[in-house]
């Protein structure tokens, strides 16, 4: 499975890749969270 695919990212970040990745990076929550 390709590591850049949406399916792979959702396996890493179950609650949503954008939401969890920004939290880990210390960035503000995205406005439109998928």
Q: Which helix or strand (DSSP H or E) is residue 17 part of?
A: helix 17-25
**Known catalytic residues?**
33
What does the alpha-carbon distance between residue 33 and residue 23 come to, in Å, rounded to a whole number?
A: 12
Report the C-alpha gap between 29 and 7 in whole angstroms. 21
């Amino acid at each position: 499975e390709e590591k850049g695919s949406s399916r792979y990212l959702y396996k890493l970040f179950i609650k949503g890749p954008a939401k969890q990745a920004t939290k880990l990076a210390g960035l503000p929550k995205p406005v439109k969270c998928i």
